[in-house]
């Protein structure tokens, strides 16, 4: 059939925006529609619909096979020296690096460190066995302690949105 030699590649090229992966899309869609009994006059329309869906749907079989392996764009990450540390971050670092005066402060600091590292309350609960209410209260207590430390250290104004 002439369709599979030229027209299918032109349609796939338009769908992918000229991406070289369009040739793989043609062969993938061919395998999907091969066993269907499609009239030759309907073939371009059916092929275009299948190709569009396979290329654009995130969970399509084509995307799972081909598009997940595309090269990622190069990221321009700053080195550690290029980041500016805010006054609030300095205050938080200073407070977290001091020795806690009692077990209660140690507990609240450790729970808060886990949360600051990106763990959700439920992940902390699953890891430690501590109830969600206790975790919430510990982080709330940490915020109050940090605010008191801020006032005594006289570092950032009390109404700072960063704090």
Structural domain total, the chain = 2
Q: Are residues 46 and 105 in the same domain?
A: no
Last residue of a domain, one of 22, 39, 67: 67
Domain that holds residue 31: 2-67
Q: How far is CA 56 from the centre of its chain?
A: 19
Q: Are residues 52 and 93 in the same domain?
A: no
Helix (H) or strand (E) holding 31: helix 22-33
Q: Are residues 89 and 147 in the same domain?
A: yes
Query: Which pLDDT tens digits describe the chain residue by residue (163 residues)?
Result: 577 778 888 898 898 888 888 899 888 888 888 888 888 888 888 889 989 988 888 788 888 887 665 555 666 666 666 667 778 788 888 888 888 888 888 899 899 888 988 889 999 999 899 999 999 999 999 988 888 888 876 655 455 555 5
Whether residue 91 is contained in a domain is answered as yes
Q: Give the pair of three-digit tokens for residue 86.
A: 């805010």
Q: What are the angstrom distances between the C-alpha of 135 and each of 51, 97, 122, 126, 130?
A: 50, 20, 9, 11, 7
């Amino acid at each position: 059939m002439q369709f599979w030699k030229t027209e299918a590649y032109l349609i796939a090229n338009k769908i992918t925006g000229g991406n070289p992966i369009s040739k793989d899309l043609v062969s993938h869609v061919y395998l999907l529609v091969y066993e269907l009994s499609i009239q030759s006059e309907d073939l371009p329309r059916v092929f275009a619909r299948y190709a569009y869906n396979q290329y654009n749907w995130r969970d399509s079989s084509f995307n799972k096979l081909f598009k997940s392996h595309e090269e990622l764009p190069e990221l321009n990450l700053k080195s550690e020296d290029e980041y500016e540390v805010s006054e609030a971050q300095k205050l938080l670092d200073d407070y977290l690096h001091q020795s806690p005066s009692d077990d209660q402060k140690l507990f609240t600091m450790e729970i808060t460190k886990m949360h600051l590292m990106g763990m959700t309350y439920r992940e902390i609960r699953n890891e430690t066995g501590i109830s969600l209410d206790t975790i919430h209260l510990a982080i709330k207590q940490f915020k109050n302690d940090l605010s008191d430390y801020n006032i005594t250290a006289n570092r950032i104004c009390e109404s700072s949105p960063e704090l």
